[in-house]
Structure 1
């Protein structure tokens, strides 16, 4: 667990954190509230993460309140970061950076040598955040395909 006088980071606990994480994600990722985008259902994202490497799903707390999240994944080849979010009033206080560092350390402890992430091209402010903490655009094209396989559900 990462701790500072103002912030602590620990693994997600479904019994205490779910409602706060859902509220945060709906604020940070407005597309999560769009019913025409079922692949962005935050409850499904949580359930899927809890089924796969739940120890890499972290929440940041400030005064015992969830103020941020990050999910990480590692497939033995590359690490990935997902769903980095900080509540609006706590942005620019170093909480996002602390979450990224915490996730990077967890990935490194698993033997991960490179971390990837994706940012929507329209979110230049988010790209700037990642560039400020050392991430650079790779010369790759990101391709995706939606599968018809139903998502995991509890």
Structure 2
């Protein structure tokens, strides 16, 4: 699969959503580095896209989806389910393909996969400086929960990053 950031896709080409495969790695990384600027920051090793892919392939790889149009990756989403709550991560759509319903379809696809596993609720986190992302999720029915998100970085052994193709 290829990915050419900022290249308009044929708007009439059908959109397909399928599971990630290793051959998608470079295209997904290119998309993520454009969609998530923090993935380009070498001072944030926990934001290494190759490591993120390796971690997902080690845990519920069947919940890692890509959207394609004309064999070009135009979007991604990852989901996870721990038996209690589901999570959505790394929803990204190529800027040239935004506002065409691709993100909405990716979220619906991931939600359906979680429902099929018996997941009763899905959570996600949005950086506070992204009001456009907040509006997107609000339009899909997501609301802020009355909770405080806490986190702690662990120095756990991580899978080896996916090799360059």
Corresponding residue of 2:16: 8
Q: Give the one of 147, 156, 164 matched to 1:149.
A: 156
C-alpha distance in 2 between matches for 1:41 and 1:5: 32
Q: Give the one of 93, 110, 115 matched to 1:103.
A: 110
C-alpha distance in 2 between matches for 1:113 and 1:137: 17
Which sections of structure 2, spanning at least 5 residues, go unmatched? Answer: 1-11
Q: How does 1:83-122 map to 2 (within 5 A)?
A: 83-122=90-129
Which sections of structure 1, spanning at least 5 residues, go unmatched? Answer: none
Corresponding residue of 1:128: 135
- TM-score (ref. length: structure 2): 0.88
Structure 1 stretches (4+) deviating beyond 4 angstroms?
A: none
C-alpha distance in 2 between matches for 1:132 and 1:78: 21
C-alpha distance in 1 between matches for 2:111 and 2:47: 24
Matched pairs, number: 150
Answer yes or no: is 1:26 the counterpart of 2:33: yes
Corresponding residue of 1:64: 71
Task: Choose between structure 1 and 2 for higher RCO, CA contacts under 8 A separated by at least 6 residues.
Answer: 2
Q: CA RMSD in A?
A: 1.2
